[in-house]
């Protein structure tokens, strides 16, 4: 099955990417892409959700299936093996996956945006040619390793991982934690301090392969939600990384990291919207069918008010998220990590995460006792929603960013 629109339609979707901050609706092509991807992902993955959640199971052929859908390297040009979409259209794929299976959306976006898009934007030509084809055809899984046991919200200040140059290699030591796809990744973009005494100005980025000597990883953690998406620890014990795998300049890692953060937040907001949309859809269906006091619960005004508020919250979140991603779409190379876009993407991510949490909470409430059962879909969505207020910068850190930018003016 080929899920992606044929090339001319894809190009049209990209032209639909002419969405701007003053055009808050989706074009017809964007709507078509979103709907088509939702249907295709549903066919490919929906039957796996219960096993993923129950057994923290990631399908062995999961990334090959994503490749079959034509959505790996979504925003990477076709000459490098990608789908050649613009960032906005790629984000809509995230929204579609969020509607279908939050674990798949999470693993896909960590691979595709945090790792692959980052390598495409920051790596040199030789690195692009070496790593992008496998990452785009489903034979290699990608991850990003930033967080450490001592550095989460303060990822830069708390970073203890080091890399010292020895001839034509760097020797990495340290531990990364809570890394999405970590237990299954073939390629990890890792940050480590090459000049610890220089603080944030002494960080570098490296591409590490799973077979490099001195590299190992944990089994997947037992998480509250998105249990199918494997999250784990990475260990670097005198891990030898060829100097050719340094991404960007030595001690220039913060530029690599910060230039990507705004895009990553705007991008990640999209799958969060998808989760919230699905929770609302399920709630409306249940309100129509569940009978109490001799009529569907959707006839009670208190249930109606919940549904109406969920809808309004969701639509408000969509406006902000679409606008933030549209502005990232037009971001010039190296821009971001400061100013209006930094504040806007933090705002979109904050709104998306908190809206999703509220909507899934109300969805569980509408389902009553049934909603409290772990194996029911709204319960899975509720548990998947919580991480959307934590990962990629917590909801508190999103506020810190916004306030800092406001007070800087």
Question: What amino acid positions are annotated as catalytic residues?
Answer: 264
Q: How far is the CB of 391 from ligand FAD (least distance, A)?
A: 4
The candidate with the shortest Cα–Cα distance to 82, out of 97, 94, 71, is 71
Of 89, 231, 259, 379, the one binding ligand FAD by CB under 6 A? 231
Read off φ and ψ for residue 336, nearest 5 degrees: 105, 170
Q: How many helices (H) and strands (E) does the chain have?
A: 13, 10
Under rule CB under 6 A, residue 145 binds ligand FAD = yes
Under rule CB under 6 A, residue 397 binds ligand FAD: yes
Q: Between residues 119 and 387, which has the closer beta carbon with respect to ligand FAD?
A: 387
Letters for 325-354 (x = contact with ligand FAD by CB under 6 A, - = none) are ------------------------------
Nearer CB in complex with ligand FAD: 19/205: 205
DSSP label of 60: T
By the rule CB under 6 A, 280 interacts with ligand FAD: no
Report d(CA 179, CA 162) in Å as an integer: 18
Residue 360 as a binder of ligand FAD (CB under 6 A): the answer is no
- Dihedrals φ, ψ of 56, to 5°? 40, 55
C-alpha–C-alpha distance, residues 369 and 161, integer Å: 46
Q: Is 388 in the site for ligand FAD (CB under 6 A)?
A: no
Q: Please, what is the minimum distance in Å from the beta carbon of residue 337 to ligand FAD?
A: 16
Task: Count CA atoms within 13 Å of residue 82 on its CB side.
Answer: 22
Q: Which residue is nearest to ligand FAD (CB)?
A: 152
- Per DSSP, the residues of 114-125 read IIIIHHHHHS-H
| Least Å from the CB of residue 178 to ligand FAD | 3
- Does 180 bind ligand FAD (CB under 6 A)? Our answer is yes
CB of 112 to ligand FAD, least distance (A): 12
The alpha carbons of the chain give a radius of gyration, in whole angstroms, of 21
Residue partners of 262: CB distance under 8 A and separation at least 6: 328, 331, 336, 337, 341, 342, 345
- Smallest gap from Cβ 176 to ligand FAD, in A, equals 6
- 3-state SS, residue 277: helix
Q: Both ends of the chain: CA-CA distance in Å? A: 52
Position among 75, 110, 122, 379 found at the interface with ligand FAD (CB under 6 A): 110
Does residue number 152 form part of the binding site for ligand FAD (CB under 6 A)? yes
> Which positions touch ligand FAD (CB under 6 A)?
110, 143-147, 152-153, 178-180, 223, 231, 387, 390-394, 396-397, 400
């Amino acid at each position: 099955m080929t899920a992606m629109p044929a090339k001319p339609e894809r190009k049209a979707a990209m032209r639909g990417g002419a969405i701007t901050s003053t055009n808050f609706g989706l074009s017809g092509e964007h709507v078509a892409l979103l709907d088509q991807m939702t249907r295709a992902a549903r066919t490919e993955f929906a039957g796996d959700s219960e096993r993923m959640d129950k057994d923290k199971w990631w399908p062995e052929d999961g990334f090959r299936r994503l490749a079959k859908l034509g959505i790996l390297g979504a925003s990477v040009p076709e000459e490098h093996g990608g789908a050649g979409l613009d960032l906005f259209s790629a984000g809509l794929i995230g929204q579609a996956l969020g509607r279908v299976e939050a674990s798949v959306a999470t693993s896909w976006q960590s691979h595709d945006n945090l790792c692959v898009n980052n390598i495409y934007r920051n790596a040199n030509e030789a690195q692009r040619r070496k790593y992008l084809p496998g990452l785009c055809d489903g034979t290699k899984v990608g991850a990003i390793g930033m967080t450490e046991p001592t550095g989460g919200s303060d990822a830069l200040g708390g970073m203890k991982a080091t890399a010292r140059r020895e001839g034509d290699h760097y020797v990495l030591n340290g531990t990364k934690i809570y890394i999405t796809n970590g237990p299954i990744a073939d390629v990890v973009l890792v940050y480590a301090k090459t000049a610890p005494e220089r603080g944030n100005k002494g960080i570098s980025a490296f591409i590490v392969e799973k077979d490099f000597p001195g590299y190992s990883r944990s089994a997947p953690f037992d998480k509250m939600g998105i249990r199918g998406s494997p999250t784990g620890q990475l260990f670097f014990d005198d891990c030898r990384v060829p100097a050719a795998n340094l991404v960007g300049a030595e001690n220039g890692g913060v530029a690599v990291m910060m230039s990507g953060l705004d895009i990553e937040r705007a991008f990640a907001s999209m799958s969060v919207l998808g989760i919230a949309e699905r929770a609302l859809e399920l709630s409306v269906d249940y309100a129509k069918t569940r009978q109490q006091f001799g009529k569907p619960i959707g006839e009670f005004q208190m249930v109606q008010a919940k549904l109406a508020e969920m809808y309004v919250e969701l639509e408000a979140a969509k406006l902000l998220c679409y606008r933030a991603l549209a502005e990232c779409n037009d971001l010039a190379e190296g821009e971001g990590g400061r100013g209006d876009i930094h504040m806007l993407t933090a705002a979109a991510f904050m709104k998306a995460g908190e809206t999703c949490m509220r909507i899934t909470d109300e969805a569980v409430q509408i389902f009553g006792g049934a909603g409290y059962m772990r194996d029911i879909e709204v319960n899975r969505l509720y548990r998947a929603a919580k991480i959307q207020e934590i990962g990629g910068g917590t909801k508190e850190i999103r506020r810190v960013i916004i306030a800092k930018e406001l007070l800087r003016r």
